[in-house]
Amino acid sequence: MVEKQKDIELSEDGALAKDTPPADILSTPFTEWNWRLILFYLGVPGIIAVYAALNNWAVLQVAGYAGTLLFYAGHAFIPWWTTCLLTYLCMRLLARWRPRQLLILTLGTVLACVVILPYSIWLTESFAAGWLPGDATGELSSLHIYEEIGFWSFTLRASVIWIAVNLVFDRFLGLPRYRYDVPATQAAGLARTSAADSTFPGAADIHGSAAAHEPRFLQRLPAQLAVDDVIALKAEQHYVKVYTHEKSFMTLYRFSDAVAEMDPEAGRQVHRSYWVRTSAIRRLKRAAKKFELELVNDLTVPVSGPNNGLVRRLAQTHDIPVHPPL
C-alpha cells in the first residue's frame, strides 16, 4: 500500500468537538492493526526488555544473554499489557467526570504497579530457582526491582516511562491514547468550520439515504470542502482520513458512517478500509490475482479479493485503463 501525499494536513486536533460523548469514543473499535499499534503493544516492551537485559551484567553472567532476555521480557510485556488494560479501565470508569489524560495515565500506571507486584516477585523467584542452580550466594534468588530501588521509586520511574511513551504516540505518531477528546491543533492558519457538530455521529440517524445531504464528517474538517472534493476515504482506527486532489485531512468519525453519507453512485468501497470516487481512478493495476487502484492524486489503494469483480466492471463501464491489460 503506497500513499503519495505532499501537503498532508492531519486535523485530528482541530477537527473534533470538545463535547464529544466519551461513551461513543470508547466504544469505537479498531478497524485494523497497523504499525502504530504493533509498535505500541509489542515494540515498546520489546525495547524495554532488550535495554534491561543489556544493562544487568550480574544476571547476564549467570543466565546468559538468551536467559536474561527472556527473564526481562517477562518483566516487560506482561506489566506493559497490564498497564494498558488497567489504564483503559480507569478511563472507562471515570468517563462520567472526563479527567485529563495525564491523570488517567498516572492512575493506570500506579494501579498496575500494585497489581503486578505479586507477579514480579513470583517471576523472579521462579527464575532463580529454576534457571540459576549455580547461584550459590543466593544473591539473585531474592533480586527484584522493588527491593533494589523501592516500590515508590520504581512506580515513579515506571510512570514517567509510561506517560512519556503515550504522549509521544499521541502527539507525534497519530495514535491517541487514553483521552476523551483531541486538543486543538497547534498548526497556525487552520481555521475551524463554524458549523462543526458537537456530537459524535450516531448510527441510527445517518444510515438512511444521505445522497441529498452534505456529509456530516465534512463539517469536522479544518477546511471547508465540498463533497465533490472528496476523492477517497480511509479508515484509520477511530478516524477517517479524507483525501482530496492535493491534501488529506483526518477527523474522528466512524468509517462506515462516512461511507454511508457519500453518494453511492459517486464511488465504491473497494476495501474494508477504503472508499474511492470512481471519477478519481486513474488506472487499475493488477499483479497475479491482486488489484490496486491508482488515483489522480497518486494514492495507491488496495482492492480486497471480494471486490476484484467490482473494480473490473468499473474499469469496463467507465473506460478506466488497466495495466497490464486484462
Q: Give yes or no for residue 200 having a pLDDT over 70.
A: no
Q: Is residue 223 part of a domain?
A: no
CA proximity to 145, closest of 130, 161, 134 = 161
Residue with cell 517477562: 74
* Alpha-carbon separation of residue 116 from 1, 76, 162 (angstroms): 40, 11, 15
* pTM listed for this prediction: 0.49
Number of domains into which the chain is organized: 1
Per-residue pLDDT of 127-177, as tens digits, reads 767 665 555 455 455 454 445 557 778 788 889 999 999 989 887 877 777
**Residues recorded for the chain:** 326
Q: Is residue 144 part of a domain?
A: yes
User: What DSSP string runs through 116-151?
Assistant: HHHHHHHHHHHHHHHH-TT-TT-TTTT--HHHHH-H
Q: What phi, psi does 323 have (nearest 5°)?
A: -130, 125
In the structure grid, which three cell numbers stand for residue 266, read together?
Answer: 459517486
Q: Is residue 95 part of a domain?
A: yes
pLDDT at 37: 86
pLDDT at 53: 82
Q: What phi, psi does 247 have (nearest 5°)?
A: -140, 175
Question: Roughly what angle, to the nearest 10 degrees, separates helices 77-93 and 44-54?
Answer: 140
Strand order in the sheet with 232-236: 248-252, 239-243, 232-236, 274-277, 267-271
What percentage of the chain carries pLDDT values higher than 90?
29
Q: Is residue 213 part of a domain?
A: no
At residue 32 the predicted structure's pLDDT band, cuts being 50, 70 and 90, is very low
Q: Is residue 111 part of a domain?
A: yes
Chain centroid to Cα 144, Å, comes to 33
Half-sphere exposure for 130 (CA within 13 Å, toward CB): 8
Q: Using an 8 Å Cβ cutoff, are 221 and 196 in contact?
A: no
Residues near 49 by beta carbon (within 8 Å), at least 6 away in sequence: 69, 72, 73, 75, 76, 77
pLDDT at 326: 64
Q: How far apart are the first and last CA of the chain?
A: 22
Domain that holds residue 129: 22-172
How many CB atoms are located within 10 Å of the residue 311 CB?
A: 24
Q: Is residue 279 part of a domain?
A: no
Q: Is residue 113 part of a domain?
A: yes
pLDDT at 192: 33
Q: Is residue 179 part of a domain?
A: no
At residue 224 the predicted structure's pLDDT band, cuts being 50, 70 and 90, is confident
Q: Give yes or no for residue 2 having a pLDDT over 70.
A: no
Give the mean pLDDT of the chain.
Answer: 75
Segment 214-223 mean pLDDT: 84
pLDDT at 181: 58
At residue 87 the predicted structure's pLDDT band, cuts being 50, 70 and 90, is very high
Strand order in the sheet with 300-303: 300-303, 290-295, 281-287, 322-323
Segment 212-228 mean pLDDT: 81
What residue type is assigned to position 240 of the chain? V
Name which of 62-71, 160-169, 258-267, 275-284 the model is least confident about. 62-71
